[in-house]
Amino acid sequence: MTEIRVIKERLLDQYKRRGYVKDVKAFDAFMRVPREKFIPERLASSAYLDHPLPLMNTGQTISAPHMTIMILDYLELVPGQKVLEIGAGSGYQAALIAAVVTSDEAPGHVYSIEIVPDLVEFARKNLARAGFDEYVTVIEGDGTLGHEKEAPYDRVILTAAGPIVPPPLIEQLRVDGTLVMPLGRPGLWQQMTRYRKVNDIEVIKENLSSVAFVPLRGKYGV
């Protein structure tokens, strides 16, 4: 069997050729985080196929590898940042983010909120297996309300698609920080969108790409 490292390098070569990702920190994170530890064991051999995988029997999915590393690019991460994720799912995206924002000199942290209790347990277990539990805190609840206790955040990422930006998430974002989310109704496609908080009353909106995500639930979801 081909070594996992080689399979990962091949995928990254493809992504570079297609211009999917520019940030080398994203490549390093992809090499460091074992995706196979974030999916049900019976699917482990599919860990590095470039498509989404089911999250247990919840109807939710873990995004395809190229989407997870494009998200790292969209977030423009640097070590030391505090990041809030909505939709922990398997915990994989949170681990990738943690791999970029935590370093010995600048320890950042990821808080990830998940609304499905079984997935809260699944994400925590996977993060521990992969050695990332120290850098990621998984919180059970409605992520559209954010997590006031640790605010403000440098970055906020939603990995489920909603019709509007949940207002608490903009409130809990640091001035100059960015929020990235798939904006749109569930169906086939949504628009990956980045919001930059200019000051307490102004945000700048930027369209990034067309994406397909599962629906955001909760108070400000669908």
Amino acid at 191: Q
Which CB, 59 or 106, lies closer to ligand SAH?
59
H/E stretch holding 158 reads: strand 153-158
Residue 217 interacts with ligand SAH (CB under 6 A): yes or no: yes
Binding mask 42-71 for ligand SAH (x = CB under 6 A): -------------x----xxxx--------
Smallest separation, CB 169 to ligand SAH (Å): 11
Residue 6 neighbours by CB under 8 Å, 6+ apart: none
Cβ atoms of residues 174 and 195 within 8 Å: no
**Alpha carbon 77 to its chain's center:** 12
d(CA 113, CA 38): 16
Residues with a known catalytic role: 63
Q: Which of residues 139-158 bind ligand SAH (CB under 6 A)?
A: 142-144
Smallest separation, CB 178 to ligand SAH (Å): 17
Residue 180 interacts with ligand SAH (CB under 6 A): yes or no: no
Segment near ligand SAH (CB under 6 A), from 109-117, 128-136, 146-154, 200-208?
Answer: 109-117
Cα distances from 23 to residues 7, 76, 79, 170, 212, in angstroms, run 20, 8, 13, 25, 23
Binding residue for ligand SAH, selected from 33, 86, 127, 181, defined by CB under 6 A: 86
Which CB, 63 or 193, lies closer to ligand SAH?
63
User: Could you count the other beta carbons within 10 Å of the beta carbon of residue 121?
Assistant: 13
Residue 133 interacts with ligand SAH (CB under 6 A): yes or no: no
Which CB, 90 or 102, lies closer to ligand SAH?
90
Residue 134 neighbours by CB under 8 Å, 6+ apart: none
Single out the residue of 19, 114, 101 nearest to residue 62, CA to CA: 114
Binding residue for ligand SAH, selected from 15, 29, 67, 90, defined by CB under 6 A: 90
Helix, strand, or coil (residue 205): strand
Binding residue for ligand SAH, selected from 29, 77, 97, 119, defined by CB under 6 A: 119
Binding mask 15-44 for ligand SAH (x = CB under 6 A): ------------------------------
Residue 183 interacts with ligand SAH (CB under 6 A): yes or no: no
Cα distances from 51 to residues 9, 98, 122, in angstroms, run 17, 22, 20
Binding site residues, ligand SAH, CB under 6 A: 55, 60-63, 86-87, 89-90, 92-93, 113-116, 119, 142-144, 159-160, 214, 216-218, 221
